[in-house]
Amino acid sequence: GAVVSQHPSRVICKSGTSVKIECRSLDFQATTMFWYRQFPKQSLMLMATSNEGSKATYEQGVEKDKFLINHASLTLSTLTVTSAHPEDSSFYICSAFQPGQSTGNTIYFGEGSWLTVV
Amino acid sequence: DAKTTQPPSMDCAEGRAANLPCNHSTISGNEYVYWYRQIHSQGPQYIIHGLKNNETNEMASLIITEDRKSSTLILPHATLRDTAVYYCIVKVAGANSKLTFGKGITLSVRP
């Protein structure tokens, strides 16, 4: 299957600082990427949908000014957690839509990024 | 998108087939059935998807009932590394069609 890569896999930051997570589609161009958050022992919760070259669409309850999403190219989307607080500590996962398939397009996921805010 | 229901957990013996059920009784005609799995502390892994015909790939088989109201994911020879949470999701095709995750089913493969 297609490859989606996230970086960093783990990051620790101080409360009040910002941290950026990158999501890259390595072998295909992704017009649409999705960002999820997962707390321990819970399922994945969609945060936002990003389309290349346009503003992201955020799910209800997700603060767009806190979670900045940029999808500047067809292979890269970034999530910046601004003014991070301990409650933002979570597993953040991106996914990318692979276009061009004829029988139901597939979405591939990155490895995830663990964020710990201290 | 239609919702799905899955049992919370099941187990099977290593080397045996694992049959994971999923109910999607309100599925629409243009919605596909997707299966993903998540091994602890990793991103979800795509397994297989189908519309109405049964599908098979190197990982698994997907059996969809004729009325499309339920499906079964079959792992033909389960290994310990197949222990994971398996998610059955229905959604339409298309770039902005989101994958909405439920609680999934936890498969435990025992030696």
Contact B59, B72 (CB under 8 A): no
The residue in chain B having the minimum alpha-carbon distance to the alpha carbon of residue A32 is B95
Q: Is B82 helix (H, G, I), strand (E, B) or coil?
A: helix
**Alpha-carbon distances of B1 from A87, B16, B47, B93, B101, rounded to whole Å:** 30, 33, 20, 11, 11
pLDDT at position A2 is 75
pLDDT of residue B20: 98
| Residue position matching structure tokens 């290593």 | B14
Q: Could you tell me the pLDDT band of residue A1, with boundaries at 50, 70 and 90?
A: low
B53 interface with A at CB cutoff 8 Å:
no
Look at residue B108 in the predicted model and tell me its pLDDT: 98
Residue B44: closest CA among chain A residues belongs to which residue?
A109
In chain B, what residues touch A112 (CB-CB under 8 Å)? 41-43
* Cβ-Cβ contacts under 8 Å, A41 against chain B: none
Residue A31: per-residue pLDDT: 86
**A9-21 mean pLDDT:** 97
State the pLDDT at residue A17: 97
The predicted model gives B76-103 an average pLDDT of: 92
The pLDDT of residue A77: 95
Q: pLDDT value at position A111?
A: 96
- Residue A90, burial from CB neighbour count under 10 angstroms (0-12, 13-18, 19+): buried
Mean pLDDT for the stretch of residues A97-116: 82
| pLDDT on residue A101 | 62
Q: What is the pLDDT of residue A104?
A: 59
B78 has a chain A CB within 8 A of its CB: no
Provide, as residue numbers in chain A, all residues whose Cβ is less than 8 Å from the Cβ of B42.
111-112
pLDDT for res B2 = 60
Q: How much is the average pLDDT of B18-26?
A: 97
